[in-house]
A and B are shown apart, each in its own frame.
Chain A
């Protein structure tokens, strides 16, 4: 099929960017979206133009590296699918496609479609762990975890840290990501001792990093490739308020 591609090009964080238009004549419906970008890059290099930079690694929807906004939708139109797993059969011959990077001041553009998501790492560093020294753990079955809780914790833990929630949120809020992390540990018995400190620290880092707040728009849940529910946001709000009360 034939596609018209408008791709965001930006040399570096400090420089201004703009869209660049390319027409692709023979896109196979069996290609993934990133393979289509690969093909574009091969053509660009052959014509002596610098290829488009974009993040990717596993191409299996699990590492969370990839992520572009395609016609206004983070990771494109298919539900629960990352850009690397999105296939071109989701598009029609002759279609026009706009490809943009995640837009948020906490995710500055590094180059072209690549953004800097280390703010997520700093949120985790501020409390997204259970402090356990290597070697000091009791036998794993000494801490029984009811299956329901384990499953709920898992649903939250499935987050791949891709940042699509931030990209989709009209407020560029990182509440879904942070809530997923806070809830994963807060739902497990192992996570209880640090539960209050964890939520307070992580929320405060989230704010400092320059993310927006949550108006409960729900766009994040819609864009999340792992279908993390905004119920975890509600849960984090509750945790935060309780922790504030107890530590106030």
Chain B
């Protein structure tokens, strides 16, 4: 396996422009002869499908939800970054680039990040023209806020529903192309495998989730924008359907999986309330602008928050990071919360929670001001917990939220399989070891609107692609494998439900490959996961038929893939013997508990090659060069 990142030469500012010029073009009349398969209709998939169709390609788009508009991107709350410098506060493309590289703890590719910062400005223009109702100032100009500890205000937002509004924009563009007959949309259709012909990605095998029909789709190129895999932890802020299946199937067919262990744990989520819990709810990070985080100084203090006097409270973030205080970056805020709970100072019935207290802010600004700013979040909190955050502090706890890892892609967003392009959260590209707030939306849309439309043409123009059809042997063979797997799942008829396996896997991953990882813990996980996998294949109970709408079967297929993928995550975490961003190895920390990076040995992307289920995957390294940003310790003290 060869990792050629295809980073263009030349000064960083000019790389993308000159690259675009060097890319081969396809004559407009010929574009319609090319079929492009887009899997996923989130920000990345919908924007790509719409734009490719506008250019004239013949596009098929797939999603497992009943409508493309329901992709998980819809849930993003906070906002989207762009280096517009509308606030005249010193922002620039270079600063966004710099912040993102630093925020990613120097584990991302400079060239990609620079391009992302450049494109960020076009995204806002595009979205505004589509009618995305961004927040405005009274003069009618766009409003910005500062987000995730950034020192400039570059985040564009649409109340607490930025992802929803951006997705509806992309979805409306996609809808326009569907109406024009340029995109054929396949909702409630899940990709279950990738079809390779002559070593190139030439199609997919899908299951119609309503009728159970297994079908093949052939095309000249495949674009996967299937999102992240935080649900490997079972409990996460992600939607219930998020999965690793498409990525994993492609990985098994030869696509390298990069940095799978980089996962982001978001500090402000509503804590778990019991065993019945199916997901964790994110409370916008913006709450940390006014809320103060604390725990009782005394271990196991069961007094109500209001009965704990000021001098018996530990405002630990303010204590540890005097200059950033409660606004410390996500990874730090999460880890410190876990530390406090590990010390026995956690709050709530489970002891897994810390207080986020607005009483000072309410005293200072009045309850009305706080309610105006966060009223909907407070309501949501009350709806879920039954507690009133105006009267008692919120309880929060970190939860898995975003996965920086994904399929390895080159500068053109092509994986190690020719013809397979990967966009959005599904690829590994731009965030390094930690993602800054408001930059996932930016990356998904950059990939879909402004990168793939250029780079895919180059691939199609350069390659001699013979005609293929679903009746070819490669398709028939892949379909057969898909059917076999389904039949196998249905025939086990064991005693445990799919959910119970998923839950158990999630617990293993959270305990051993979660917020803090150790050599010992990871090795333990590497024993437990295969055991659980074995049990799954012998004892899972999936009722019903394959030729019918069968939600247990859908879940079973996804959990089966997680059970293979989880092992890869642990291998990756074990091999990376350093702490960086979302990956924290307890053995590698400074005396005061901060992450210790090891640039000498680990300044690379770990791209893994599949070698068989249960067999140790093969590691390939893409070295990261930092020519424009100086490697430095990320300090927020």
| Complex contact flag A–B (Cβ < 8 Å) | yes
B446 to chain A, nearest CB (A): 12
Task: State which of A97-105, A130-138, A216-224, A235-243 sits at the interface with chain B.
Answer: A130-138
Q: Identify the stretch in B63-71, B248-256, B361-369 within 8 Å (CB) of chain A at 4 or more residues.
A: B63-71
Q: Is the CB of A57 within 8 A of B72?
A: yes
**Known pairs A28-B276, A117-B67, A140-B129 / 17 extra A-B pairs, C-beta < 8 Å:** A30-B386, A42-B499, A45-B552, A46-B497, A58-B72, A59-B278, A118-B67, A125-B178, A130-B131, A134-B450, A135-B122, A137-B129, A137-B130, A146-B138, A150-B136, A153-B131, A160-B164
A45-B497, A120-B67 as given contacts; A134 in contact with B142, CB under 8 Å: no
**Distance (whole angstroms) from the CB of A94 to the closest CB of chain B:** 20
Q: How many residues of B contact A (CB 8 A)?
A: 81
Contact B142 A140 (CB under 8 A): yes
Q: Which of B104-112, B165-173, B328-336 interfaces with chain A?
A: B165-173
Which of A35, A120, A150 meets B134, CB within 8 Å? Answer: A150
- Check B137–A147 contact: CB distance below 8 A: yes
The 6 A-B residue pairs with the shortest CB-CB distance, nearest first, are A144-B140, A137-B129, A129-B172, A140-B128, A125-B179, A137-B125
B210 sits at the interface (CB 8 A): yes
User: Could you list which residues of chain B lie within 8 angstroms of chain A, going by C-beta atoms?
Assistant: 47, 50-51, 54, 65-70, 72, 74-75, 84, 86, 122, 124-131, 133-142, 158-159, 161, 164-165, 168, 171-173, 175-176, 178-179, 185, 187, 210, 239-241, 273-274, 276-279, 281-282, 379-380, 383-386, 449-450, 453, 495, 497, 499-500, 541, 543-544, 548-549, 551-552
For residue A62, CB closer than 8 A to chain B, the reply is yes
Choose among B54, B67, B133, B453 the residue that contacts A188 (Cβ–Cβ < 8 A): B133
CB neighbours (8 Å) of A114 from chain B are 549
Write out the residue numbers on chain A whose beta carbons fall within 8 Å of the beta carbon of B138.
146-147
CB-based contact A85/B384 at 8 Å: yes
Q: Are B133 and A137 in contact (CB under 8 A)?
A: no
B175 touches A121 (CB 8 A): yes
Whether a CB of chain B sits under 8 angstroms from the CB of A6 is no
Interface of chain A: mostly helix, strand, loop or mixed? loop
Q: How far in angstroms is the closest Cβ of chain A from B134?
A: 7
CB atoms of A30 and B274 under 8 A apart: yes
Q: Separation in Å of the B90 CB from the closest CB of chain A?
A: 18
25 contacts between A and B (CB under 8 A): A30-B276, A42-B499, A42-B500, A57-B72, A87-B384, A110-B210, A110-B549, A114-B549, A117-B67, A121-B178, A121-B185, A125-B175, A130-B172, A131-B176, A134-B51, A135-B122, A137-B130, A140-B125, A141-B142, A147-B136, A150-B135, A150-B136, A157-B158, A185-B131, A190-B131
| A33–chain B nearest beta-carbon distance, Å | 11
CB distance from A166 to the nearest CB of B (A): 14
Question: Is the C-beta of A73 less than 8 angstroms from some C-beta in chain B?
Answer: no
Asked if B552 contacts A146 (CB within 8 A), the reply is no
B175 touching A124, Cβ below 8 Å: yes
- The smallest C-beta distance from B247 to any residue of chain A, in angstroms, reads 18
Bound together, the chains give a CA A141 to CA B133 distance in angstroms of: 13
